[in-house]
A and B are shown apart, each in its own frame.
Chain A
Amino acid sequence: MEREKQRELLHILEENGRRSAETIATMLGTSIEEVKETIEKLEKEKIIIKYPAIVNWEKVDENDLVTAMIDVKVTPKREVGFDEIAERIYRFPEVQSVYLMSGAYDLSVVIEGKTMRQVAQFVSEKLSALDSVISTTTHFILKKYKHDGVILEKPEDDKRMVVTP
């Protein structure tokens, strides 16, 4: 599949990961086989990594999770730099994401816990206890408006009239 079409395909999947190969093939004007092959190839190459669902957990009462973003200062290790400590951190199941940052601190870590206490415990007992970690600053998220490009709060309503010429 040509590059341009492949980019289009990725956009379609990014928008809705559950689109069938048949519909995508129709949308792109290619064959189903070509779509299937391309998707397989993109999965193999780790260009498509996963097909998660974006869930608005706030609407599911019993699962009202607490999210915290933690700025972590670390000492990089000889020969492996930040990669080793980053891996130590991202192995914890409660860690959602880890980024190496420019600026005032080194790693940005996003954690999800059931309660504030649980997050605090993770930070004090596990994260801070790591050898290379110098300091942590924890920010709790109070409200999510937009997540991964999706506006969570109000659905974008169609402001057009029902029939126009």
Chain B
Amino acid sequence: MSMQQMTTNQRLSRTIQQIPPSGIRRFFELASSMEGVVSLGVGEPDFVTPWHMREAAITSLERGYTAYTSNSGMYELREEICRYLSSSFGVGYNPNNEVLITVGASEGIDIALRALLDPGDEVLVVEPCYVSYDPVVRLAGGVPVAVRTSLEDQFKLTPEQLEAQITDRTKAIIFCFPNNPTGSIMTKEELNALARVIEKHDLIVISDEIYAELTYDTDHTSFASLPGMKDRTILLSGFSKAFAMTGWRIGYAAGPEDIIQAMVKIHQYTMLCAPIMGQVAALEALRHGMDEKDRMVESYRQRRNYIVKAFEQIGLTCHKPEGAFYAFPSIASSGMTAEDFAEKLILEQKVAVVPGGVFGDGGALHIRCSYATSMENLEIAIERIDQFLQKHK
């Protein structure tokens, strides 16, 4: 036995050392240390979970429901999810073996990738995207390959962009529409065009549809509902965004039986099951929460309309986001990098936005502004950003 201590480099795995720290971290610390900040940097609803969902969880706790559920999650909830997916998006799943309740959609991303990847398998990651995709692919032993969408296409994914990045090592693709951070959506026709390329190269699709309920001009099309796609798609979603339930950590994965059951295997050894009180609240959300969801969507739409127009009026180019609750204006005209812009903006004007680069290089000249905050806050933020732009002309 050697008495020598290992260095940190020796102690930690090479994989974890190769993952850069989250780009949002440093900025988060800066923003958290300041007083009186108006934040457009929050990636979650500004509503509290509607009362009757909280109440359902409280009642279940009072009645003593504090035990494990089945590994795949409460059967009633799986059944309700299947009913919902079928009636809302026209895609049918069997609650017995094609659905798994996860600890947030985030866990779904992780175990989907771990169920699919062998070392060296490539995964196409459509950027700009949620900060976790790239690192989670690496943690699963895969190689993330960025597919960049651009402002010219309103950050939609085109078949050409997709095809250009495919190699014979490509196994899967992960994308999220409506998109965080761009707010872009894909129409049925646009998805169909992708489906042809995906079929041709026999790829598996991880479709993160966490924002499916938050569309403002058209209804959401689920990738899994396209002809022939259900069998090659893992549909990931959850309750965080639609029902303002981020802290409950309840999501779900639906897909072909072989993949879902492989995911259940990982889930049962790592998570065991999603927390029961969260599952109870989620069940209540699907059964009786649609009216509240509609009201929240209505208010997001109003604020979306306001912020897009306000950005144009103060001279920031901003495509119209058709879903989620983010605007992704370009700050190219300011001559600053997004990191510079965001840092100066918070120091000088106390407005927090997230520099677009953290979502992938394609977002480098953009800032993500969440409009999940009150109209009053949006008005203050716009006024301050306007002053900031005037000053830095």
A162 with B42: CB separation less than 8 A: yes
Determine the distance from Cα of A19 to Cα of B306 in the docked complex, in whole angstroms. 12
Interface residues of B in 30-81 (CB under 8 A from A): 31-32, 37, 39, 41-44, 46, 48
With contact pairs A23-B306, A26-B306, A27-B302 given, residues A162 and B37 touching in the complex (Cβ less than 8 Å): yes
Whole-angstrom distance between the alpha carbons of A115 and B376 in the complex?
37
The dominant DSSP class at the A interface is loop
Task: Give the distance in Å from the alpha carbon of A96 to the alpha carbon of B391 in the complex.
Answer: 51
Residue of A nearest to B43 (CB): A164
Bound CA–CA A26/B46 (angstroms): 21
Q: Is the CB of A163 within 8 A of B352?
A: yes
Report whether B305 and A29 are in contact in the complex, using a CB–CB cutoff of 8 Å. Answer: yes
Verify if B176 is at the interface (C-beta below 8 Å from A): no
Query: Is A104's beta carbon under 8 Å from chain B?
Result: no
The answer on a CB contact under 8 Å between A163 and B27 is yes
Q: Is B41 within 8 A of A164, CB to CB?
A: yes
On whether the beta carbons of B298 and A26 are closer than 8 Å, the reply is no
In the assembled complex, how far is the CB of residue B353 from the closest CB belonging to chain A, in whole angstroms? 9
Complex contact B44–A164 (CB within 8 A): yes
Is the C-beta of B191 less than 8 angstroms from some C-beta in chain A? no
Residues from chain A with a CB closer than 8 A to the CB of B32 are 161-163
State in angstroms the CA–CA spacing of A160 and B130 once bound together.
Answer: 18
Considering only CB atoms and an 8 Å cut-off, how many residues of chain A contact the other chain?
Answer: 18
- The verdict on A28 contacting chain B, using a C-beta distance below 8 Å, is yes
Report Cα–Cα, A156/B47, bound state, in Å.
Answer: 10
Q: How far is the CA of A19 from the CA of B376 in the complex (A)?
A: 10
Given contacts A8-B298, A16-B375, contact A161 B305 (CB under 8 A): no
Find out whether the CB atom of B132 lies under 8 angstroms from the CB atom of A27.
Answer: no
Within 110-165 of A, Cβ neighbours of B (below 8 Å) are at: 156, 158-165
Which of A12, A29, A164 has the most B CB atoms < 10 Å from its CB?
Answer: A164
Chain B residues within 8 Å of A27, by CB:
302-303, 305-306, 375
Residue with the highest number of chain B CB atoms closer than 10 Å, among A26, A29, A161, A165 = A165
Mask of A12-31 contacts with B, CB within 8 angstroms, 1/0: 10001001000100111100
Question: Which residue on B lies nearest to A160, using beta carbons?
Answer: B42
Name B11-25 residues within 8 Å CB distance of A: 22, 24
Decide: B309 and A26 in contact? CB cutoff 8 A: yes
Distance of A165 Cα from B41 Cα, bound (Å): 8
B161 to chain A, nearest CB (A): 24
CB distance from A13 to the nearest CB of B (A): 12
Residues on B with beta carbons closer than 8 Å to the beta carbon of A23: 306, 375, 379
Q: Is the CB of A163 within 8 A of B31?
A: yes
Q: Is the beta-carbon distance between A165 and B24 smaller than 8 angstroms?
A: yes
Task: Collect the chain A residues with CB atoms within 8 Å of residue B376's CB.
Answer: 16
Q: What separation, in Å, do the CA atoms of A19 and B302 have in the docked complex?
A: 13
Chain A: minimal CB distance from B89 (Å): 23
Chain B nearest CB: distance from A154 CB in Å?
14
Does B305 contact A162, Cβ atoms closer than 8 Å? no
Q: Nearest-CB distance from B4 to chain A (Å)?
A: 39
Known A26-B306, A26-B309, A28-B302; judge A162-B31 contact (CB<8 A).
yes
Neighbour of B42 across the interface among A16, A19, A164, CB < 8 A: A164
With A8-B298, A16-B375, A165-B131 in contact, is A160–B305 under 8 Å at CB? no
> If A8-B298, A16-B375 touch, does A161 touch B28 (CB 8 Å cutoff)?
yes
Tell me which of B44, B132, B306 contacts A160 (CB under 8 A): B44
Among B138-192, those with CB < 8 Å from A are 180
> Which of B24, B27, B32, B302 gathers most chain A CB within 10 Å?
B302
B302 near A163: Cβ-Cβ < 8 Å: no
A41 to B65, CA, bound (A): 53
**How near does chain A come to B297, taking the closest CB pair, in angstroms?**
12
**Residue B354 lies at the interface, judged by CB distance under 8 Å to chain A:** yes
Bound Cα distance A165, B176 (Å): 14
Q: Out of B43, B48, B303, name the residue touching A165 (CB < 8 Å).
A: B43
How many angstroms from the CA of A8 to the CA of B216 in the assembled complex? 14
Which residue of A is nearest B32, CB measured?
A: A162
> Cα distance A112–B260 when bound, in Å?
64
How many whole Å from A132's CB to the nearest CB in chain B? 42
Instruction: Scan residues 360-381 of chain B and give those whose CB is less than 8 A from a CB of chain A.
Output: 373, 375-376, 379
Which residue of B has the minimal Cβ distance to A162? B31
A59 to B375: give the CA distance in the assembly, Å. Answer: 25
In the bound assembly, the distance between CA atoms of A106 and B271 in angstroms comes to 60
Residues of A within 8 A of B39 (CB): 160, 162-163
Interchain Cβ contacts under 8 Å between A and B, 23 examples: A12-B302, A16-B375, A16-B376, A26-B309, A28-B305, A156-B48, A158-B46, A159-B48, A162-B31, A162-B39, A162-B352, A163-B27, A163-B31, A163-B32, A163-B41, A163-B42, A163-B352, A164-B41, A164-B43, A164-B44, A165-B22, A165-B43, A165-B131
Q: B residues bordering A, Cβ < 8 Å?
A: 22, 24, 27-28, 31-32, 37, 39, 41-44, 46, 48, 130-132, 180, 298, 302-303, 305-306, 309-310, 352, 354, 358, 373, 375-376, 379
List residues of A whose CB falls within 8 A of some B CB: 8, 12, 16, 19, 23, 26-29, 156, 158-165
